[in-house]
């Protein structure tokens, strides 16, 4: 009997010892933080990591009291990378980790309100992605995006749960709304509806329909990337007619100058991996999607769907190129004055920071309606593709034609 108790105590000792070395008592940090931010501590204690980590593993030990809060470290990707090398490296090789690069490359970012960017109440709320080094941030952290680290975007702090990150809602906070309504599209389309109905009525079989993660993070791969990208401009292009439309778009993006020669912005496109720049690169990204679809659908069915989604981009580009050229004509003829140091061409990357109504319409046609036309096609939401996308592009084009005509007449009357 005594021997059994001894055995039991020894195994208990090892069990506790192995699963939570030195973490038996409540840490100093927790003792105080249970008063400062009680639910936060509870969240952490419920998570998997509380079994073997404590607050200091991510926040360091420099801050010990209310008087030295500024010394608390805020984790960056490298903090998690130390223990989760695979996920961190996959993540860093994907598109998310370039979110800040894309934001800072935009010509008008520095003109936005500070609260909007550094204060993370606008663009900066979603784009503070890819800061790897705690120190780089820590050195000036009150100014340079004080909060916002990548891994918690799907694994919210301090639960850091795998289950939570695997649900499609984990993507919703950013992939929704005006220019990237993937959440609305998916959740209203067959895949999302089938997934969510099954999650409620037959949870064990919910994965008969795909989630965002099924298609974009197959096998839990944290390297998230698409073939077309946000702007849907790839190079080279075999279809000559389509390439004609694309050239107008690339000029309006400032990647080509009005004569069609590459500008320094092409380097930005490369650095931010904004577009696939070889056929091989495009094909490799596309293949990953097709392979996933084929787990549930036949090859012909998948090919048919991909081909027609691609064609929707071409249809959208046809309307958009005409609109760009009308506005470019107004620049060429001096009806819209060119901006200092800028070519006589519309610049789509200025988004809404434009001076004329016609350019506001062009911006909406680009960011809102063209996006919805093709994003809806890939996400099987025919309502978005039609009524919020293609139909609106037609309306934009009519408006742009009429407004341009009127601007020309006004100029004749009041030169």
Is position 123 an interface residue for ligand HEC (rule: CB under 6 A)?
yes
Is position 312 an interface residue for ligand HEC (rule: CB under 6 A)?
no
Is position 225 an interface residue for ligand HEC (rule: CB under 6 A)?
yes
Among 134, 138, 214, 362, binds ligand HEC (CB under 6 A): 214
Residue linked to tokens 């593709």: 385
* Residue 309 contacts residue 384 (beta carbons within 8 Å): no
CA distance 137 to 144: 7
What tokens does 398 get? 């009519």
* Piece of 75-83, 255-263, 315-323, 360-368 that binds ligand HEC (CB under 6 A): 75-83
The minimum distance between CB 275 and ligand HEC, in angstroms, equals 8
Q: How many CA atoms lie within 13 A of 342 on its CB side?
A: 21
Is position 242 an interface residue for ligand HEC (rule: CB under 6 A)?
no
Q: Is residue 366 classed exposed, middle or buried when 0-12, 13-18 and 19+ CB atoms within 10 A define those classes?
A: buried
- Closest to ligand HEC by CB, 72 or 344: 72
The minimum distance between CB 236 and ligand HEC, in angstroms, equals 16
CA distance 111 to 6: 71
Is position 161 an interface residue for ligand HEC (rule: CB under 6 A)?
yes
* Piece of 2-10, 213-221, 249-257, 314-322 that binds ligand HEC (CB under 6 A): 213-221
Q: Which of residues 127-146 bind ligand HEC (CB under 6 A)?
A: 127, 129
- Phi/psi at 158 (5° precision): -100, 25
Q: 83-122 mask for ligand HEC (x: CB under 6 A)?
A: xx--xx--x---xx-xx--xx--x--x------------x
Q: Which of residues 252-291 bind ligand HEC (CB under 6 A)?
A: 272, 274, 286, 289
Is position 316 an interface residue for ligand HEC (rule: CB under 6 A)?
no
CA distance 44 to 280: 44
Nearest CA-CA partner of 347 in 369, 355, 275, 390: 355
Distance spanning both ends of the chain, measured CA to CA: 107
CA distance 392 to 395: 5
Among 78, 118, 199, 224, binds ligand HEC (CB under 6 A): 224
Among 79, 361, 373, 385, binds ligand HEC (CB under 6 A): 79
Maximum distance among all alpha carbons in the chain? 108
- Closest to ligand HEC by CB, 48 or 333: 48
Is position 153 an interface residue for ligand HEC (rule: CB under 6 A)?
yes
Among 8, 14, 144, 147, binds ligand HEC (CB under 6 A): 147
Bridge-partner residues for 256, per DSSP? 262
Helix (H, G, I), strand (E, B) or coil at 256: strand
């Amino acid at each position: 009997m005594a021997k059994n108790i001894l055995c039991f105590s020894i195994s208990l000792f090892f069990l506790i010892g192995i699963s939570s070395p030195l973490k038996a008592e409540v840490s100093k940090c927790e003792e105080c933080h249970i008063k400062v931010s009680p639910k936060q501590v509870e969240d952490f204690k419920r998570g998997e990591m509380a079994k073997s980590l404590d607050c200091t593993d991510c926040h360091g030990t420099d801050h010990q009291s209310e008087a030295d809060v500024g010394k608390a470290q805020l984790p960056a990707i490298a903090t998690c990378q130390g223990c989760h090398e695979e996920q961190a490296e996959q993540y860093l090789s994907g598109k998310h980790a370039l979110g800040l690069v894309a934001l800072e490359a935009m010509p008008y970012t520095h003109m936005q309100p500070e609260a909007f960017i550094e204060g993370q109440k606008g663009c900066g709320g979603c784009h503070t992605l890819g800061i790897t080094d705690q120190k780089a941030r820590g050195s000036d952290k009150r100014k340079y995006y004080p909060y916002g680290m990548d891994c918690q975007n799907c694994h919210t702090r301090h639960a850091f749960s795998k289950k939570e990150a695997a649900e499609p809602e984990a993507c919703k906070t950013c992939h929704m709304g005006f220019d990237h309504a993937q959440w609305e599209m998916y959740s209203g389309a067959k895949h999302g509806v089938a997934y969510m109905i099954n999650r409620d009525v037959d949870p064990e079989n919910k994965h008969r329909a795909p989630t965002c993660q099924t298609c974009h993070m197959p096998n839990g791969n944290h390297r998230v990337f698409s073939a077309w990208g946000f702007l849907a401009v790839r190079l080279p292009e075999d279809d000559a007619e389509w390439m004609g439309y694309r050239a107008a778009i690339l000029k309006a993006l400032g990647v080509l100058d009005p004569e069609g020669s590459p500008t320094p912005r092409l380097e930005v496109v490369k650095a931010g991996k904004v577009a696939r720049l070889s056929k091989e690169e495009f094909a490799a990204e596309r293949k990953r999607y097709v392979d996933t679809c084929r787990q549930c659908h036949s090859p012909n069915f998948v090919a048919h769907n991909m081909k027609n989604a691609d064609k929707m981009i071409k249809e959208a580009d046809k309307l958009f190129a005409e609109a760009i050229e009308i506005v470019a004509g107004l620049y060429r003829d001096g009806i819209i004055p060119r901006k200092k140091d800028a070519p006589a061409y519309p610049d789509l990357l200025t988004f809404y920071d434009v001076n004329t109504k016609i350019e506001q319409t062009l911006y909406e046609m680009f960011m809102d309606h063209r996006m919805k036309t093709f994003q809806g096609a890939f996400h099987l939401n025919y309502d978005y593709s039609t009524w919020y996308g293609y139909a609106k592009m037609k309306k934009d084009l009519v408006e742009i034609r009429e407004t341009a005509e009127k601007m020309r007449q006004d100029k004749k009357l009041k030169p």
